[in-house]
A and B are shown apart, each in its own frame.
Chain A
Amino acid sequence: MVDLLAEYLPHWLAVVTAAAVSALALISFIGLAAFLFIWAERKVSARIQDRLGPTRVGKFGILQSLADGIKLITKEDSTPDLADSFLFRVAPYLAFCASFCGFIALPFSRDLVAVDLSIGAFFILAVLSSEVFGIMLAGYGSANKWSLFGGVREAAQVVSYEVPRTLTAVVPICLAGTLSLNQIGAQQVGGFWNWNIFHDPFTFVAFFIFFITATASCKRAPFDLAEAESELVAGFHTEYSGMRWSFFFLAEYASMFAVSGLAALLYLGGWHSGFLPFEPAAEFGPWLGNALDMLVFVGKGVLLIFVMMWMRWSLPRLRIDQVMMTCLKYFLPMSCAVLIGACIWQVVVPHNVTEIVRYVLAGGTLVVIVGVLASLFLIKGDNSSGNLAGVWEIVPSATPAAVSLPSTDPAVSQPAT
């Protein structure tokens, strides 16, 4: 973009304008993404908990985040008396800046990247690891014991989970031979069997370990002990209200998208759709093609974030010692083994065996996913639509001792009464 603008403007102004345009585009993307993810979180959590979620503000409640934002802006800006005012005020911005800077090297499409760094993956992992400062300073600067505990535990968890996260991020880097995210994405061109995740069984396992450790280092459930309501009031952001509090959540959703986008790039083929026989960027010209690729990439990131939300509302929370034990005793050896296995696989296994394994993995995964989705439509439940299943079906009778409760689960056979 600098070369394009340099034809019309002096060089320094072209650089500044290009930087400003990229930064504005990224910030508006992050803002819009956080707006939609907060609504999605409330809807997804509501549906998993058998309720409806926001329905009143706008169609499907989609303007609920806007209403929340207006409320948060107009809230009173209170600071605790004993708080270290400089640290208290700077902490949310530190967390947000660290998350935002991770987007600098993230390519949304072949040509849509703010800065095409040759060490993109390393840079994103390095910058996202600086988010821990906002948390620690928020915990310390609140002059609150529970905030301090929450901040310290949070920092220990984030720092510990960085190690297996980085090890499993190195696996596709070893396969690709480059740290540049543009090249790693460009290498996964073609059908979806070319994606890095299907390269060998070790990389397949590495994707899941990367996703889980990235969830942990984003402090999402089930690793959200330090900000859980039943544990430490609200952890490191107990004393924050209004716009400062929402900055923490902007930072959280931004880094969730950053690691999901990184997982999509490293393992799931980036901006390639995997089933189209042509390349959109080549077929439809630079603007439309790149826009289509960006939609595919953002779609993959959104899918992974949906999985993170699904995990949050399905799994119970881990205790802090369980969190640290899972990292140090399970994930760290597993990620080392996966890295060694992936490197040995490339060297030892002959070429036709790797091709067969790749097609088997890709085909098997596709069959499993299609089978699970089809089973949602094919297996009929016992209740007709419009009725609530489960306990609402049981009508209490006069003699409760003689009633044998009918099971509504079709998989459980009825006992002979």
Chain B
Amino acid sequence: MAEVLFAIVALATGGSALGVVLSRSIVRAAVWLLFTLVGVSLTYFLLGAEFLGAAQLIVYVGGTLVLVVFGVMLTSGGPNQGFRPKKLEWFMAGSLATALFTLLVVGSLGLATPTSGDGELPGTGPLGLSFLGIPEPGRPSGSAFLLPFEIVSVHLLVVLIAAAYLARAKRRVGGTTEPGGPP
């Protein structure tokens, strides 16, 4: 059952990622990127990492992608003016991507697979304690994850501020903002 669900989610994510690369309009590429990041979040949910999946949704989908789509929407030249990469660019990017993919597959297959019978997944209490690196019975003290968590939070803050800044109502310099008002 889990394999079938993972196959569906992985196909959807991979297909959307292909859509990012192959689509000719940049706004559509941003929308395919949205589907890809939602697919990654679904993969986290399938693995049982609920907190990480929700954090992915809130930081990437709700924050970063909003900023990306804002920027892309407001600066693109229209939906039908696309870019067509040249053959040399296809070859260079394709070979680099294939090399990276091979490296990632070999590396991830070399890691131990997680055993499925480990019992209850930690809720937010133990997760929070492990962020701070506090040792608990049954889990030796590892590294603290507080700094990466803070970095992600500041990332979300920057992205939200940028999105609000891009959408601000611009005031005309030295005059009123109404067209028919007094100068």
Contact = CB atoms under 8 A, between A and B. Distances in A.
Contact of A90 (B1, B31, B54): B31
Contacts of A143: 79
A163 interface: yes
A12 B5 CA distance: 10
B3 to A, nearest CB: 10
A136 B169 CA distance: 17
A152 B58 contact: no
Interface residues of A, number: 42
A178 interface: yes
B57 A324 contact: no
Interface in B158-183: 160, 163-164, 166-169
B62 A162 contact: yes
A279 interface: no
Interface in A217-267: none
B81 to A, nearest CB: 11
Given A136-B70, A179-B124, A152 B167 contact: yes
B62 A136 contact: no
Nearest to B160: A159
B51 interface: yes
A292 B65 CA distance: 42
B22 interface: no
Given A84-B28, A122-B51, A136-B70, A156 B4 contact: no
A126 interface: yes
Nearest to A121: B54
B16 to A, nearest CB: 12
A321 B167 CA distance: 11
Interface string A154-174: 011001101100000000000
Contacts of B79: 82-84, 87, 141, 143
A127 B58 CA distance: 7
B25 A84 contact: yes
Interface residues of B, number: 34
A148 to B, nearest CB: 8
Contact of A140 (B27, B54, B55, B61): B27
A178 B73 contact: no
Given A152-B167, A159-B66, A320-B169, A118 B27 contact: no
A11 B27 contact: no
A81 to B, nearest CB: 12
Interface in B8-45: 25, 27-28, 31, 34, 38
A324 B168 contact: yes
Given A118-B123, A152-B74, A129 B62 contact: yes
A11 B1 contact: yes
Interface in B51-82: 51, 54-55, 57-58, 61-63, 65-66, 69-70, 73-74, 79
Given A122-B54, A178-B124, A324-B164, A87 B4 contact: no
22 contacts: A12-B4, A15-B1, A84-B28, A87-B28, A90-B31, A118-B50, A118-B124, A119-B50, A123-B50, A126-B58, A126-B61, A129-B61, A129-B62, A133-B31, A133-B65, A140-B27, A152-B166, A156-B167, A159-B160, A162-B62, A179-B124, A324-B164
Given A136-B66, A140-B27, A155-B167, 6 more contacts: A87-B28, A87-B31, A119-B54, A119-B124, A130-B62, A159-B62
Interface of A: 11-12, 15, 82-84, 86-87, 90, 117-119, 122-123, 125-127, 129-130, 132-133, 136-137, 140-141, 143, 148, 152-153, 155-156, 159-160, 162-163, 178-180, 320-321, 324, 328
Closest 3 CB pairs of A and B: A156-B167, A129-B62, A84-B79
